[in-house]
Structure 1
Amino acid sequence: MAKTTVEEIYKAYEEIDKAGSNFEQVKKSYEIVISGAHGESNCKRLAAQFIPRFFGKFPDLNEAAIDALFDLCEDTDLNVRLTVIKYLPNVVKESDKVAVRIADALVQLLQNETSQEIAAVKKALEQVIRLSPRDSIVAIFQQSLKGSTEVRNRTINFLSNDLNRFKNDLFEKGDDVEACFANEVKKALRDSTLSEFETFLKMLLSLKMYQLEKKENLKELINVLIESIATESEDLDPTNYVKVQKFILCGKTLMPCFEKGVKSTPFLAFLVNKVLPKDKFNRLQEKQQKSMLRFLADCISGKHTEATIKSAAPIIKELFISEIPPAGDDVEVEPKLDLPRVEYIVFTLYCIASKIPEIVEGEDVSLRFKNLYVVSHKCIARIKQGLKDLQNREPKDQETLEKIKKAESGQIVTNNILNMIKELMKPAKARHFTKVQHSWQSLTSNTPLAPQTSAKRTAESVSPVDGTPNKKSRTTEEKSTIKLPQKSAVPKPPQNALPRNNQNRQTFSNTRNSGLSNNNFRNGGSNGRISKLNRNSAKNNHQTLYVPPPRRGM
């Protein structure tokens, strides 16, 4: 069978262009254009341009046209691939019903190796998303994220970097587009890796619908994040590093929201019920334990239900008893204590005691209060003497200044512990739960996901009961932001790349419907790896959208 020539394709194009509305009469002409996808290199490039142009005029030939375009996407000639990628968005212009399949195919092409091709794919994918936002977003998440590891990684990279450049324009088309994007990201959270979870968190918190003033939306998001780690009926395995770290990422990201008034009760309940029980807490790594105690202290001063506080009380009491040893016979021997860690626990105990006084009753607690009281006094005396020596040292080099700063921080922590212990040692009726200064409020986290803070205050006075700021304290509210990944520069495809000899074109397996998990790559010679498209993925996984009829036999 003779191959279609360039002249035949041009003639067919002119016949279709002059047909007006009588496209049924020139159906054979469109078939000639489609057949050009299997001709010489120049014929393929013409077919890549003309097939999309008239795609909507011949619905009976849509499936044959899409197959021809996908063949061109897998061609060994880089120029052919660049041409078809450039014109694929025109298919969606002609018929947005196939946006799912085109978006899915383009994402699969992101795994090709040439920089020109990747740049062209990203540009085409952006056009398709702009033309059909909802269908394209759903296709990318529901089909492409289920592909091979490489396709998944490239897809997430596109969503977090390239989509970020034009998402504001995209979401202005309607709230439903932003909500659709957010819903798809939230669905992907549960099966995500730790790094993916971090990326998805950034993507969600960069949306307008999750700005701080939209507290109801944030409350819903907090519940979704917690559910993605462990549902109410699930236990959190403390040895599961990924899930524990996901929770820590959530805590460090959401804490600024809690400080701004977003209710933290669901987060606190998860912490109390699934993390802090002794059999789970003791199996965490030491650094993880400290993070959890910090979250506990940060959350406990907010407004919570009585049931939440009551369920937390015995667990916090047990934590205090296990962390602080009772006074021993030898008063000269001091226990080795991590003072910041102790401060978190004592502050939490102090807050709960303001509502449930009986939590600090009993000999086990009182013996530890006495021991902690003595130890705190000794620590303060040592710190004061050490500070005096350091401040008298001349000249003050950088190492000395760091030691002074560390000693001053230790003095604040120890004073906080001592002041709270003094109050808790009083009889219940004589206690006055005054506002306590958080020594850790001015500290910033080194975790990459943690919001960058502008800490213009050295400490914040906060009520132990409801988190109300102390009117007498001079504070400047910390502003927190999530830094999004920088957008990457997109190189332009070459204008005059030389075509390869068509004889190098490889034939494909008859198993055209094989998935990406199988052998999906071909050797593209000097042009690098070429993706073989999974042509059925969009058909099988998106039942609510239009799907063309299945491909007939070859």
Structure 2
Amino acid sequence: MITVERLYELYNIITDAKDDAAKHEAEYVEILSGVKGDTGARRMTAQFISRYFGTFPNQEEEALNALFDLCEDDDPSIRRQSITSLGVVCRGKPALVPKVSDILAQLLQMDEAAEVSCVNTALVALLRVHAKGTLTGLFYQLENNRDEIIRDRVLKFLLSKIQSLSTEVFGKDVQVFIFTEAKKFIPTATEEELVLIMSILGELSVCRTTTAQQQLSDLLMAQVNLSEPLLKSPDISRTVGVLNQAKNFFSANVKSTAVVSYLLTHALPHLEKIEAAILVAGQDAAKVTYSILKLVAQLLNYAETVEKADVAMKHVFKALLDVLPQPPAAGEAGWDDGGASLQFSRVECLLYSLQQLTKFHADFFSDAEVLKDFRQRLQYFARGSQAYQKVLREAIAGKKGDELKSEENKVKLIALKTTANINTIIKDFFHTPPAAKSSISLSWLLETEKGKDANGAAVGFKRHAPITMDADSAESPPKQTKGSRQIYAPPSGKFSRGASYGGRGRGRGGRGAGRGFRRY
């Protein structure tokens, strides 16, 4: 077994040879055998391999395999040194980058934060050597490895580096490469992964053209069967997640007509059954339903036409009546006593959708009795909304700057925008006949952090939980008098994850047990 002393001796022979170092290939081969030595020898080997890697091209494959083996060593310091060496040996050798990037991506499954940090640093070094080669290895893992930890960390690495590294690394040709590879990955992405990959694409200037927006919209919509009810989808939550990503690419130039038709025909009329199916699947039914309502409201703006607008309005109107409480009779307990459940977020979505649909079917409220009942409900709801607005204004009064950026105050600001929108839209239904006179900005678009793309479509905004005031809910505040009500925002659920990948093994299982990486 080779010793540390012998390794130093071999290293000094090569170093002392200077310009004739290449004549000492036999000594370098012996250094590579240090991978089978004791802890000290393996540590020295991990350092020495990279020092003269470029001097002995005939030993490239053996040297890389030695480093790969050391990346699976029991000793964490040896693993870290080997990972660092992998980022060094590719300097001046771009042909090796895809292979090394592939292995480094698999090493992202490591448990220790320090080792994951080493992997990230090595990958950044590779990006600077050959960006496309590095991305080839990373996307190979995204497309072929089902390990959710690896896929998640690869995506988060890409997102962070696209945001932090200059266009010198991610030039136009590299961006086009990312766009091309991402399109291959999207069909297999889980809901969480879809959010990440679309965030990555949102950072690329090449994805902000109308052509790119149309391609991404088409690619996402190809995953949704627009001719069948949403209830028949294998995974309702993921289908809604795909639609949520697709909506970011609709604009005045990329029309949402087909999606709006699908939602109004195959989703909205079956909300109760959809909620039941989602509950059976153990998922957050309220979140998914709210997403559907937001999709309808937002995408109506980009629809050229609405097929059977009268039928569509009936579906929206019915869903709206389900969340608009009837006014109590004279002498009965009213909203001020905590007797009503006010679902502000749902009402905002449905009221706005109904308002927009009046552009396509102005005669919907021809029945005077139906309109009278509807207006009474709206007046009653408006009273509760105005009272809630007063509470919200008092809650944020005097707060400025960073204070308003806290999560609690963000919810209050969104709730204030939600109730203000509701009160604005309600006025439109008291015109004769009701018509879309007012213009609002939907409350959830307040959370758009990255603005709009070149076509005006919102990109990369964060979801928020529905704003409700439910006096009957176990999670709602105690009944209080008017003017002292608290804010309630139900918790949102987590996305489902994908299946695991069966490779050489996962996690740390001792030296030689493998961390699950595959070699070319």
TM-score normalized with structure 1 length: 0.63
1:143-201, CA deviations, whole angstroms, 9 ceiling, x for partnerless residues?
266153332333233223355322644113xx121122233333333322322222222
Distance 1:385 1:68 in 2: 71
- Find 1:28's aligned residue among 21, 26, 35: 26
1:269 shift after superposition: 0.7
Check whether the contact 1:92–1:99 (CA below 8 A) recurs between aligned residues.
yes
| Map 1:5-404 → 2, pairs under 5 A | 5-14=6-15, 17-19=18-20, 23=22, 25-143=23-141, 146-162=145-161, 164-166=163-165, 168-172=167-171, 175-211=172-208, 214-227=209-222, 229-230=223-224, 236-237=230-231, 240-247=235-242, 249-250=244-245, 254=248, 258=250, 261-265=251-255, 267-273=256-262, 276-277=265-266, 280-281=270-271, 283-285=273-275, 288-289=288-289, 291-302=291-302, 304=304, 309=305, 311=307, 313=309, 315-319=311-315, 322-323=318-319, 340=348, 342-353=350-361, 360=363, 366-367=366-367, 370-376=369-375, 379-380=378-379
1:128 shift after superposition: 1.1
1:520 shift after superposition: 5.2
1:36 shift after superposition: 2.7
Check whether the contact 2:108–2:150 (CA below 8 A) recurs between aligned residues.
yes
Check whether the contact 2:35–2:42 (CA below 8 A) recurs between aligned residues.
yes
| Aligned residue pair count | 431
Q: Which amino acid is 1:164 matched to?
A: Q
- Find 1:418's aligned residue among 415, 426, 430: 430
Distance 2:416 2:28 in 1: 82
Residues 1:442 and 1:14: Cα distance change in structure 2 (over 3 Å):
closer
Q: Which amino acid is 2:437 matched to?
A: V
Identity of matched residues, %: 18
Does the residue aligned with 1:160 lie in a helix, a strand or coil?
Answer: helix
1:514-545, CA deviations, whole angstroms, 9 ceiling, x for partnerless residues?
96453552348xxxxx982545x352xxxxxx
Does the residue aligned with 1:352 lie in a helix, a strand or coil?
Answer: coil
Check whether the contact 2:271–2:289 (CA below 8 A) recurs between aligned residues.
yes
1:34 shift after superposition: 1.6
Distance 1:115 1:314 in 2: 58
Check whether the contact 1:16–1:30 (CA below 8 A) recurs between aligned residues.
no
TM-score normalized with structure 2 length: 0.67
Distance 2:381 2:116 in 1: 63
Does the residue aligned with 2:274 lie in a helix, a strand or coil?
Answer: coil
Distance 1:210 1:109 in 2: 30
Q: Which amino acid is 2:176 matched to?
A: A
Distance 1:158 1:17 in 2: 39
1:224-275, CA deviations, whole angstroms, 9 ceiling, x for partnerless residues?
3333x42567764467342244145326x62xx65xx54342x331231366
Residues 1:134 and 1:315: Cα distance change in structure 2 (over 3 Å):
farther
Distance 2:216 2:385 in 1: 48
Q: Give ranges in structure 2 of 5+ residues lacking alignment.
A: 276-285, 322-326, 331-340, 398-411, 463-500
Q: Give ranges in structure 1 of 5+ residues lacking alignment.
A: 326-330, 355-359, 425-432, 455-477, 485-513, 525-529, 540-554
Check whether the contact 1:36–1:47 (CA below 8 A) recurs between aligned residues.
yes
Distance 1:300 1:407 in 2: 21
Check whether the contact 1:112–1:531 (CA below 8 A) recurs between aligned residues.
no
1:2 shift after superposition: 5.8
Distance 1:108 1:50 in 2: 24
- Find 2:508's aligned residue among 501, 516, 521: 521
Check whether the contact 1:86–1:124 (CA below 8 A) recurs between aligned residues.
yes
Check whether the contact 1:147–1:516 (CA below 8 A) recurs between aligned residues.
no
Q: Which amino acid is 2:133 matched to?
A: D
